[in-house]
Amino acid sequence: MKKKIKKVNAAILIIGNEILSGRTQDKNIAFISNWLNTKCGITVNEVRIIPDVEKNIIENIKILSKKFNYVFTTGGIGPTHDDITAQSISKAFKLKYEYHKEAYEILENYYGKKKFNDGRKKMAKMPKGSKLIYNPSSAAPGFITKNVFSLPGVPSILNSMIDNCKKYLVKGLRVHSKTINLYTVESNISKKLGMIQKKFKRNVDIGSYPFFRLGKIGVAIVIRSISISKIRNVNKELIRMAKSKKIEILKI
């Protein structure tokens, strides 16, 4: 078990022309972000979506791997010509792009020697020294290069693999959240909300999000912090604010 430290962050890099074209709707961002926060205490601070272009992948890997504790990439590790994530990461870190012995054996055993064609062999090539992220769904492993975790783009396969990343992560403290829903408009509470945020600025993040429900306009106020007690304190302040302004609190 790796030691917990207070703040650990990550970025997600979605790689794929199909996402940018609108042909495929991304489901991985929400899943990875939620998993990192609830299971590992790691906060996602940035998300980027880029095409299957080697130059773009290299540039973003260099930037994000220096800026964040961890980077999670999705897509581009399959058998086709446009699956260039592994090759691009090799170039970003100036590592040899080669067959990973264990990955090769896993795939050869899964497909059988006769059906283990060049496309399938390609899925065993990755940056030299990479650690494997085992795949219980379709055998083809993801891989870890330095602080970059490379996963497939297919959500069901990614979901089945992600727990195998946990042992390689330094865990942080989980960010808790609480939501209070008010039947009001943002302009009616913006000044007071700003004052509350200023009071708790070192410990708590407060966000406001308008909604329309049952014919009424409202605002969902989300309180986030690693401290449950601080969340409770802010929640009390928000309730006092709502009562003083005679704002109805929506009970869910």
Domains of the chain: 8-168 (3.40.980.10), 176-250 (3.30.70.600)
42 with 175: CB under 8 angstroms? Answer: no
The sheet carrying 248-250 orders its strands as 205-213, 216-225, 176-183, 248-250
Check residue 237 and report its DSSP letter: H
Pairing of strands 216-225, 205-213: antiparallel
pLDDT for res 252: 57
Q: What is the pLDDT along the chain (252 residues), one digit of tens a residue?
A: 455 557 899 999 999 999 999 999 999 999 999 999 989 999 999 999 999 999 999 999 999 999 999 999 999 999 999 999 999 999 999 999 999 999 999 999 999 999 999 999 999 999 999 999 999 999 999 999 999 999 999 999 999 999 999 999 998 888 889 999 999 999 999 999 999 999 998 889 999 999 998 888 999 999 999 899 999 999 999 999 999 999 999 875
Task: Give pLDDT, residue 1.
Answer: 44
Q: What is the pTM of this model?
A: 0.85
H-run or E-run covering 66: helix 54-67
Residue 5: per-residue pLDDT: 54
pLDDT at residue number 164: 97
